[in-house]
């Protein structure tokens, strides 16, 4: 019985990961990305777990509309890659493998974060600093395996901003075309509700694994020395990191750890409605979906220069460095704001995020970028 269950599970896993082939045509594109969403298009819970799932479907639909046949294959699983593709799109390692088999094809690398050498360097630097200060031995998390995808690509479609481009070598920057991502749409949220907020002393950090990478240590340490403010943590925490902070979090009366919450969960909406700022001192990002999602709920972004964006001066606060002293400067700035100014920023962030990070804008950016590089 146990063996039968294992076989059934393996069958469904392989089925979900297997390639999706749509409309073989005179010109065909190989997409090294996510085939699973195509097979689970009616599973809203699954699709809402990360914006890249719906975006994978959108990208495929755009190629088809522009006259391409597509093969969508999992970017990190070993499959037999056929030759004779006129365009290669997606992520390593299969982006690299397919590019080598189709040397004459147009090669478009789909970058969702900072340049990998920047990310790896910052992860090691911040983790080493943490271990030295706290006398710990936390492991490096979210290191990227070295690759040459950016170097072999003809073009790079980059999720992020000019701040993200700054992490790349000068020799690569001219390949980059910026793309604005989709993020979640909160259909039940009204900004008028946010403007009725009475208390402005709560902040939130929301992210996934890579706790030091995403600056959660700074957020917690900052909370511990500013106990007149409330600090909410939403998302998964690295095991060794959580072991170090567990007692401090549990014993702190102003830190509230909620764990992972689905973006569509009403609980997240209630937590965010009580907060004024999303503090995200990450050392390497594209444009963080967690930040954009909470901006869509009116929250003011407080971000490092590596996950910032060009309009930050009008919408929030950019941290010059990743230190508690810099977070204290932010707090001084925040406390200098009038209630009217805070509410004005709520509205500005709500409008900016909803107008710039949605399905329609993403479709437009991807379509225009493809037209530009393929001369269709």
d(C-alpha 173, C-alpha 165), whole Å: 6
With bands split at pLDDT 50, 70 and 90, how would you rate the model's confidence at 13?
very low
| pLDDT tops 60 at residue 234 | yes
**Non-local CB neighbours of 332 within 8 Å, separated by 6+ positions:** none
Give the model's pLDDT for residue 6: 39
| pLDDT tops 90 at residue 281 | yes
Quick one: average pLDDT of 26-41? 93
Backbone angles phi, psi at 189, to 5 degrees: -95, 140
Residues 72 and 56 sit within 8 Å (Cβ to Cβ): yes
Q: Is the peptide bond before 202 cis (omega within 30 degrees of 0)?
A: no
- pTM of structure: 0.91
Give the model's pLDDT for residue 23: 64
Give the model's pLDDT for residue 61: 95
Indicate the DSSP class of residue 139. P
With bands split at pLDDT 50, 70 and 90, how would you rate the model's confidence at 286?
confident
With bands split at pLDDT 50, 70 and 90, how would you rate the model's confidence at 1?
low
Between helices 239-251 and 216-224, what is the axis angle to 10°?
Answer: 20
Give the model's pLDDT for residue 4: 40
| pLDDT tops 90 at residue 95 | yes
Give the model's pLDDT for residue 8: 40
Quick one: average pLDDT of 177-199? 92
d(C-alpha 121, C-alpha 72), whole Å: 32
CA triple 352-355-360, angle to 5 deg: 150
Distance of CA 290 to the CA centre of its chain: 7
SS3 88: strand
- The pLDDT tens digits of the residues spanning 295-353 come to 999 999 999 999 899 999 999 999 999 999 999 999 999 999 999 999 999 999 999 99
d(C-alpha 206, C-alpha 297), whole Å: 13
| pLDDT tops 50 at residue 368 | yes
Q: In what order do the strands lie in the sheet with 20-22?
A: 20-22, 69-74, 28-33, 87-90, 106-111, 155-159, 176-179
- What value does the mean pLDDT of the chain take? 92
- The pLDDT tens digits of the residues spanning 117-160 come to 999 999 999 999 999 999 999 999 999 999 999 999 999 999 99
| pLDDT tops 60 at residue 3 | no
| pLDDT tops 70 at residue 114 | yes
| pLDDT tops 50 at residue 53 | yes
Residues 163 and 315 sit within 8 Å (Cβ to Cβ): no
Give the model's pLDDT for residue 91: 96
| pLDDT tops 90 at residue 9 | no
d(C-alpha 140, C-alpha 125), whole Å: 10
CA distances from 101 to 45, 94, 104 (A): 37, 11, 9
């Amino acid at each position: 019985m146990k063996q039968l269950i294992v076989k059934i599970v393996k069958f469904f896993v392989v089925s979900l990961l297997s390639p999706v082939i749509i409309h073989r045509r005179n010109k065909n594109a190989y997409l090294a990305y996510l085939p699973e969403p195509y097979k689970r298009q009616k599973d809203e819970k699954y699709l809402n777990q990360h914006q890249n799932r719906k975006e994978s479907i959108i990208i495929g639909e755009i190629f088809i509309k522009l006259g391409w046949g597509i093969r969508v294959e999992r970017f990190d699983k070993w499959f037999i890659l056929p030759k004779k593709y006129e365009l290669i799109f997606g992520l390593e390692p299969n982006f690299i493998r397919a590019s080598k088999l189709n040397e004459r094809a147009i090669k478009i690398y789909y970058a969702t974060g900072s340049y990998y050498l920047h990310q790896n360097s910052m992860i090691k630097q911040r983790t080493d600093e943490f271990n030295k200060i706290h006398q710990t031995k936390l492991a490096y998390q979210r290191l990227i395996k070295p690759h040459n995808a950016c170097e072999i690509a003809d073009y790079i479609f980059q999720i992020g901003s000019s701040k993200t481009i700054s992490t790349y070598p000068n020799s690569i920057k001219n390949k980059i075309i910026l793309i604005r991502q989709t993020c979640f749409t909160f259909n039940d949220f009204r900004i008028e509700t946010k403007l009725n907020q009475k208390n402005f002393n709560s902040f939130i950090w929301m992210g996934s694994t890579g706790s030091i990478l995403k600056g959660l240590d700074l957020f917690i340490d900052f909370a511990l020395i500013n106990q007149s403010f409330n600090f909410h943590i939403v998302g998964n925490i690295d095991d060794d990191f959580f072991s170090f902070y567990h007692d401090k979090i549990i014993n702190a009366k102003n830190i509230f750890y909620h764990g992972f919450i689905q973006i569509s969960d009403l609980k997240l909406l209630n937590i965010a409605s009580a907060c004024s700022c999303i503090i995200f001192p990450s050392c390497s990002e594209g444009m963080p979906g967690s930040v954009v999602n909470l901006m869509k709920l009116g929250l003011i972004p407080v971000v490092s220069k590596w996950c910032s964006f060009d309009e930050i001066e009008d919408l929030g606060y950019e941290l010059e460095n990743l230190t508690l002293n810099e977070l204290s400067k932010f707090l001084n700035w925040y406390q200098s704001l009038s209630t009217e100014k805070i509410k004005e920023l709520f509205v500005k962030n709500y409008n900016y995020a909803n107008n710039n990070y949605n399905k329609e804008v993403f479709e437009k950016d991807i379509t225009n970028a493809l037209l530009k590089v393929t001369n269709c």
